Structure 1
């Protein structure tokens, strides 16, 4: 703190009121980063609370707070979600994927190359997480059938989907968000195919890396392990006999005193029949229960009247019969069971299966499964009847990993959707109509022609992402209004001025890559872009160059598996955190160097 000549108190040479506003904005940013990283609260709720605080403190007006939600680019993003879902629902994408896998399944290198090319191409026009999710099941299925290692395919798939999004404006929400912010600040927005040349180079380099260096760094896992062995649950399974004198005889399986024991009932053997009990099943004399629990709990229950323990350890054959089987289920991207506990969902009543174990980020969860809150990308080891599992093939919540059966290809509706998508791209890119109008029109036509239902259209839109982008756009305005952007820009210039313009730009790109770890890519970019624009103006260089470099930098952060597309392949690929660090770090550094070299070429300072 120091005193100016006029006698007004200043902080670091800044007016106290301005200093207070800068402090509020940067404190909110730090708090948001922490909350985004810990996931204690939903990102949309955190974003809305930030906006409320910024309006209450008069840093932004209500109109500025809501301006981001009325942007043309929000409409574009929502429309792309609907069109992508229409392609999925009509079976177009799964038809393509099934043909691809069938053609290339005999050669790992051919399969890897074609998967990356096709996934990257589709991701140029669709959400990369959705594209990754659609490829996971067929790739795991063909890997197990052909005795290949799915770990050699799934990480390259995720990376290809992410990098493919850099090739067009609509390829990733980050591109749409940054372009929308540029438009709001009076800078020319990014064209639909403006970034395609540099995006294709980034994608090609990423593909070559994964086909050579990356492939050798990827782990190799056998696909032939028994599921019980893989999840290491043998020591938790045993058989309990209900003796004729047991007080449990005549009581409902799921409401009896045994149901309150600290272990779970899986299947029931009655005579020569082995079946899954339901909510109508009652105990009979000499029933044999296959249960899962800790050894301590089983020893404790052994002393109960009317119960006998038959074995201490069971094998996978005891869990599978002609009618009952084990399967791995993947919690999908848009699943409505995410964030709910196993107990709340009540899988036995809702789906007719029991969960034996849950695999998350390489860790197997076996104890207190009922209290586990499910997340996207979780792998569930379940036991169920073949019929019940077959019914899951139409579920939007769970995907069976061990086999792939594409949904019926609705040829006529599929062609309508493809034509709508292509027409929207053509009209928008030629500026015959505004981009937002062309994509919205295509989305509306897909609903009118029943390529996708109205309910599905509203459901598929990622409202949390739209709120995040709209809110973080307003946060960018707050950084400008408060002076936080100028304050940080001055500090960065002073710190890196000896490195020149490229050195300063490199600092921004590296900071963006760092922030994408706790935050979403779009949020990280929207935090940095306002500061980068102020810095570019201070350096008398084109602010679009800085903004585009940051936008691309946010999309090449492949160091950790926090990107949703990477989370989806984490479990099925049996990866460890270190695998992403080992494979992704080198590729990320190469792509950062590529961006710093090519952006000044395509968008001169």
Structure 2
């Protein structure tokens, strides 16, 4: 089969793949898998070439970083950051800055998708608590994660993927902070732009789901840990006065009740705090370090034996043998191996302490249980309904420092070139599991297989463009249109990559354009470095549509955004960052060095 025919078929597969990705009729990973199989079947790629992406250093590093990020999430390390830094804002601008600053810092070292996933629930609760529209905060949250990811090699999977392609071409890995030369100015400029322009360009939206919010109000009881950080703090200092949809009803201390709790009341070890609120507020309450569900005897033993727990919602059946008994006397934890943390009746809170509540048919209980509990009791005649509460894993606060230490060690080892980036990330993931920062099942769930499959299969398209000469053909076409000017060529590569990113995924766009950029640099006899960094920055700078970057898609629903909301504020930002990147990149990495 002639080389020209291979070029034609490769370009046809690329065009068909782009068309299917843009129409979104099939999942992205399925489209790219079909493209890889097509190239393999047509003999354009050998099996080794087609499957090369599955062993690429960049893809493996991305997978390992997901596990490390899961350790930070499951130990409550990120929750502590959000509570310490969010505080009490004095307006929309300060609130946005409090959201963006820590997210930019964290996203520089953690995959931005898990950062947004971890920050979104506390930010939503924080916004409701301070009566701030979530739509004013969630696009800045997503954009901050994208901007932070451009500052280091490990900040986003795109950087790791492009670096993996760069190393595949026989080049040495770029440094941990090398891209910071352009990433940090873009992050600073992006932050200033959002603070200045969001008041006029960012719409005030209400999420579509807010009208259907769960109206049930639970009674929940929490205990102040004897050795926790809340002991000795007042109610205000502990952050328990302004909890939005959660109200502190009373404190039970040494057998006596303190009603109408004053803000100046100081917390003592093993105080029992009775709250009333909805399920989302209770999930947020569970993530406050220093508070835990009250446990006695066997319940405490269960919690120690099975630290991996989350919240489950159940409705008591008329056949339940514990009906007409108080929760204290029923020994619920003995019967079911779980601990009741909240109860609601007819959608309303039940007065009094949790232990004194007499169970009735149709009562709704919120319980702490192991992940396998739902599967074992889903068809139990004792319950009418059994369902998991999303994102309600109980953090392992005692292991938060270990999780931060592991991340710091990975960054330090890679920065000082003690270990290759992929080795440091894999050792970090192994340490996260070995030190109990995340369970094996949670680590499996944390790895976004869709993203990894997209990355791995995208490599096959990029490889086909390179080996068939299709990338060189496209580069020659661009070269003719750019009059052999490297500045114009760099602009074309940036614009094409940024446009492709808005239509496809950032990783797929980077892998597709990278071989074209390298071929263009070779035709110009210029250094490939500025073109490689242009692909990195353009593939990450996705602000104009919700589909261009996963974090944009994550905040679209909770923020109640329309498609045009991203274009209104994102297009000027994208143009500004393009100008900054195209000015800085050739200055730091010249086209013709020396």
Quick check: TM above 0.5?
A: yes
Q: Distance in 2 between matches of 1:494 and 1:390?
A: 67
Cα separation, partners in 2 of 1:329 and 1:559, compared to 1, 3 Å: farther
1:87-139 CA-partner distances (Å, limit 9, x unpaired): 100110012112222x2344433221121010111111222122122222222
- Counterpart of 1:557 in structure 2 is 542
- Counterpart of 1:145 in structure 2 is 129
Counterparts of 1:298-309 in structure 2 under 5 Å? Answer: none
Q: Structure 2 unaligned runs (5+)?
A: 216-274, 284-311, 316-345, 350-362, 372-386
- By how many angstroms is 1:22 displaced? 1.4
- Counterpart of 1:20 in structure 2 is 5
- Counterpart of 1:114 in structure 2 is 98
Give the TM-score taking structure 2 as reference length: 0.69
Contact 1:570 1:576 in 2 (8 A): yes
Partner residue of 2:558 out of 563, 572, 583: 572
Q: Distance in 1 between matches of 2:92 and 2:369?
A: 27
Q: Distance in 2 between matches of 1:222 and 1:492?
A: 45
Counterparts of 1:359-398 in structure 2 under 5 Å? Answer: 390=366
The DSSP-based 3-state class of the residue aligned with 1:159 is: helix
Q: Distance in 2 between matches of 1:444 and 1:483?
A: 40
Cα separation, partners in 2 of 1:52 and 1:111, compared to 1, 3 Å: same
Cα separation, partners in 2 of 1:392 and 1:122, compared to 1, 3 Å: farther
Q: Distance in 1 between matches of 2:142 and 2:70?
A: 19
- Counterpart of 2:36 in structure 1 is 51
Contact 1:123 1:131 in 2 (8 A): yes
Counterparts of 1:521-560 in structure 2 under 5 Å? Answer: 521-560=506-545
Cα separation, partners in 2 of 1:592 and 1:385, compared to 1, 3 Å: farther
The DSSP-based 3-state class of the residue aligned with 2:65 is: helix
- Counterpart of 2:397 in structure 1 is 410
Q: Structure 1 unaligned runs (5+)?
A: 1-15, 232-265, 268-321, 331-349, 354-382
Contact 1:352 1:384 in 2 (8 A): no
Q: Distance in 1 between matches of 2:423 and 2:282?
A: 39
Q: Distance in 1 between matches of 2:209 and 2:24?
A: 34
Q: Distance in 2 between matches of 1:604 and 1:397?
A: 55
| Stretch of structure 1 that moved more, 454-463 or 78-87 | 454-463
- By how many angstroms is 1:407 displaced? 4.7
Contact 1:217 1:583 in 2 (8 A): yes
Q: Is 1:32 paired with 2:35? A: no
- By how many angstroms is 1:151 displaced? 1.7
1:466-493 CA-partner distances (Å, limit 9, x unpaired): 2222222222121111111011011111
Q: Aligned-pair RMSD on alpha carbons?
A: 3.2
Q: Distance in 2 between matches of 1:384 and 1:576?
A: 32
The DSSP-based 3-state class of the residue aligned with 2:545 is: coil
Q: Distance in 2 between matches of 1:519 and 1:579?
A: 19
The DSSP-based 3-state class of the residue aligned with 2:137 is: helix
- By how many angstroms is 1:462 displaced? 1.7
Cα separation, partners in 2 of 1:603 and 1:418, compared to 1, 3 Å: same
Q: Is 1:202 paired with 2:189? A: no
Q: Distance in 2 between matches of 1:392 and 1:210?
A: 40
Q: Is 1:64 paired with 2:49? A: yes
Counterparts of 1:50-129 in structure 2 under 5 Å? Answer: 50-101=35-86, 103-129=87-113
Contact 2:36 2:461 in 1 (8 A): yes
Q: Is 1:438 paired with 2:408? A: no
Cα separation, partners in 2 of 1:584 and 1:398, compared to 1, 3 Å: farther
- By how many angstroms is 1:533 displaced? 0.5
Q: Distance in 2 between matches of 1:33 and 1:70?
A: 24
Q: Distance in 1 between matches of 2:449 and 2:569?
A: 32
Number of residue pairs matched by the alignment: 445
Contact 1:124 1:171 in 2 (8 A): yes
- By how many angstroms is 1:46 displaced? 2.3
| Stretch of structure 1 that moved more, 383-392 or 209-218 | 383-392
Cα separation, partners in 2 of 1:596 and 1:73, compared to 1, 3 Å: same
Q: Distance in 2 between matches of 1:512 and 1:150?
A: 31
Contact 2:109 2:411 in 1 (8 A): no
Cα separation, partners in 2 of 1:503 and 1:388, compared to 1, 3 Å: farther
Cα separation, partners in 2 of 1:488 and 1:116, compared to 1, 3 Å: same
Q: Distance in 1 between matches of 2:402 and 2:58?
A: 24
1:405-450 CA-partner distances (Å, limit 9, x unpaired): 9954523x21112111111211122111222112211111111111
Counterparts of 1:464-483 in structure 2 under 5 Å? Answer: 464-483=450-469
Cα separation, partners in 2 of 1:203 and 1:475, compared to 1, 3 Å: same
Partner residue of 1:595 out of 575, 578, 581: 581
Give the TM-score taking structure 1 as reference length: 0.68
- Counterpart of 1:452 in structure 2 is 438
Q: Distance in 2 between matches of 1:68 and 1:597?
A: 32
